[in-house]
Amino acid sequence: MRGRDAGTFLQAQTMNDVAALAVGQWQWNGLLTPKGRVIFLFALARTGDDDYLIIAPDAGAAELKAQLQRFVFRSKLSLDEAPALVAAAAPGQAAGAGHALLDAGGGAIGLDLAGEGGPRCLWLLPPAHPALAPEDPAVGADWRLADLAHGLPRLAPGQREAWTPQMLSLERLGAFSLKKGCYPGQEIVARTHYLGQAKRGLQRLGAAAALAEAAPVAGPDGQELGKLACVASHGDRHEALAVLPAGLDAAAPLAAGQPLVRLPLLGGLAR
């Protein structure tokens, strides 16, 4: 997104404080419905005074562009897909940059995604960049597992408009603002926070076999307590993030077609 009104537009339409971003920084952000439900969750990078880059792993560029384009009206900005950039995962690569963008030269832009699970970077590279390795599905599967372990929801189309930011525990990522001005869904987000009505949140779960997105999670009496918001598998690791009631008995057994094991959410991914 480019143009003199780009920052103002993003500040008015997204759930985080875009005005707080300096050039060369990035943040977690997203779009909400007027009822405060998450449509898209993404990383937003400020690459110039009036230039922004949206990195949305679970949204097609065309559909995200169409969603934003509906509200442009007379704003002086342009929305374009970035086919000249390819995302490349670099697990184990240390950076310690926090929300500062990384620059590897040759047009490469990096996001430091390190957390308690260890160092890792996401690089956006030109297709001919020498650091670009052949696609490896195993790396992608491990990356998704790491996202879920740190409480970063990976929302498939079927999970859009289903959850509020608080239900997805997005405060852990610093992904929404309670101090900026109005934006779609802001009233619901603020009311939930200030009235203490966040009755549900994320729980990381593990299982012996692959889990199904949107599967119901049942308690010991078989009653449905919540649903699996997103799932990931690689090898013998099968995990999910579920939206469950806050204050649930930590000893109560859970199941989603098979027994589930509670796993800790890792920290360190707030930006």
Question: Looking at the domain assignment, is residue 1 inside a domain?
Answer: no
Residue 207 pLDDT exceeds 90: yes
Is 98 a domain residue?
yes
Which of 119, 149, 179 corresponds to the end of one domain?
Answer: 149
Predicted model pTM:
0.94
- Do 92 and 182 reside in the same domain of the chain? no
Q: Is the pLDDT reported for residue 6 higher than 90?
A: yes
Considering only residues 256 and 135, tell me which one the structure prediction assigns the higher pLDDT. Answer: 256
Domain boundary among 149, 167, 183: 149
Give the pLDDT band of residue 39 (cuts 50, 70, 90): very high
Tell me which of 129, 149, 169 is where a domain ends: 149
Model pLDDT, residue 133: 78
Task: Count how many domains the chain has.
Answer: 2
Work out the mean pLDDT of the chain and round it to a whole number: 93
- Residue 76's domain is classified under what CATH number? 3.30.1360.120
Residue 97 placed within a domain: yes
Q: Read off the pLDDT of each residue in 37-54 and give the average, rounded to a whole number.
A: 97
- Its domain, for residue 125, covers 6-149
pLDDT at 185 exceeding the cut of 90? yes
Whether 271 is covered by a domain: the verdict is no
- Do residue 168 and residue 140 come from a single domain? no
The yes-or-no verdict on residue 148 having pLDDT over 80 is yes
Band the pLDDT of 204: cuts 50, 70, 90.
very high
234 and 131 within one domain:
no
What are 58-85's pLDDT values in tens digits?
988 889 999 999 999 899 999 998 876 8
* pLDDT score, position 174: 98
- Copy the structure tokens of residue 228: 């699996």
